[in-house]
Amino acid sequence: MLKSPVFTLVVGLMVGLALGYVLAERESIPPPAERPTVSQSNLPPGHPPVDESGTQNPATDDSELARDSASLRAMLQKNPNDAKVLASLGNLYYDNKRWPEAKDWYQRALKVAPNDADVMTDMAVVERNLGSHEQALKTLDRVLQIDPNHWQALYNKAIILNFDLHQHQKAAAVVDQLEKMRANNPAIPDLSSLKADIAGKG
């Protein structure tokens, strides 16, 4: 017996919706890791501007990126070991999602200032985006040895433990630390969605 076109269409739509639901359930997209804010007073002279949220404005195209990079590199001609300028070059490539270049400049900055917790936290995010999740976690643990209250490092640690390494109980413990800190630190973002995601996987 031949099925009517309407029946075939309805069945097709139902199958499509079911498949879409299954695929949506399987794809869990991690939220972006937090980056330490940048103080205007800590930027070297001539550094690209910083917006109100503390994140450097990303270059709009390759020519702008090249111009800003050239400006910072020119500063290094006077002082090749200027840790702030080296880190600023890392920030420039970080904000443009050029992870290998960002890693290179952060490595150079950390050779000059090995205990810079903010640069190490940025480095950890870069390592995560390059797929080195275990190394990123080690870098964050080094940050927390230097500054146990570095909330961005704790937040990023929770993200990596939950979404990348699937160590949900450890992630929950880190979020508990953040919750206690949040009472006295309004810079820490709302953690409810992260807590809900961890709870759903625990």
Tens digits of residue pLDDT in 160-171: 999 999 999 999
CATH at residue 127: 1.25.40.10
Q: What is the pLDDT of residue 62?
A: 84
- Average pLDDT of the segment spanning 147-153: 96
Domain count, the chain: 1
With 0-12 / 13-18 / 19 or more C-beta atoms within 10 angstroms meaning exposed / middle / buried, residue 194 is buried
Residue 16 belongs to a domain: no
Q: How confident is the model at residue 202 (pLDDT cuts 50, 70, 90)?
A: low
Looking at the whole model, is its pTM more than 0.95? no
Tens digits of residue pLDDT in 15-65: 444 444 333 333 334 555 555 544 333 444 433 333 333 344 454 468 899
User: Looking at residue 113, what DSSP letter applies?
Assistant: S
Residue 19 belongs to a domain: no
DSSP conformation letters of 9-73: HHHHHHHHHHHHHHHHHH--PPPPPP-----GGGSPTTPPPB-TTSPBPPPSSHHHHHHHHHHHH
Domain holding 72, by residue range, is: 35-201
Tens digits of residue pLDDT in 76-124: 999 999 999 999 999 999 999 999 999 999 999 999 999 999 999 999 9
